[in-house]
Amino acid sequence: MQKDAPVLREVALAVPIEEIKSKRIQDIIKRMRKALSKEDDGVAIAAPQIGESLRIFVVSGKVLGHPSPESETSDAQPESHLDLVFINPEIVKVSRKKVEVEEGCLSVRWLYGKVKRSEKATVSAYDEKGEKFQAGGSGLIAQIFQHEIDHLNGILFIDKAKDLEELPPDTKNDKRN
């Protein structure tokens, strides 16, 4: 979904806990994982980005460094990693210290800008099996948590960003090298 899609501006609906294991929710998670895996530069995706107004986001295992069970078999790709699913996530703690970080978004392609985010964040959520867990992190992980929960609240990073700049793939590589 691109930035003009109305679903990206809605506050996403909570997933009823008893429906987490349902075929519908599991299929949405599969679609999210598939969409995220197609984007080389994607680190996470929220359900509204695939047109579903639900409080779910997925963080790419390549960011977390979680090897998937298949990566331990000899014929799997070595870069295969287990994505982490967050259902009904809530930020339970953030650091007072904020940092200005560069951000982009799969729904606002090729636009980048600086956003002030808490340096550390802890999130409480349910996984795809319906188990409650907490995850915390600093740096990129904290940034992802805040960015994705913004998505679930109908907020795009461009609403908060300064110094927005369009950098299509060819110019982005030229500028960064």
Taking alpha carbons only, the member of 13, 10, 15, 48 closest to residue 32 is: 48
Which of these is catalytic: 10, 70, 148, 165?
Answer: 148
Question: How many CB atoms sit inside 10 A of residue 147's CB?
Answer: 23
DSSP tally for the chain: helices H, then strands E? 4, 8
The answer for residues whose C-beta is within 8 angstroms of residue 9's C-beta and 6 or more apart is 154
148 catalytic? Reply is yes
Q: What is the amino acid identity at position 153? A: N
Q: Report the alpha-carbon distance of residue 144 to residue 47 in Å, rounded.
A: 14
Give catalytic residue positions: 148
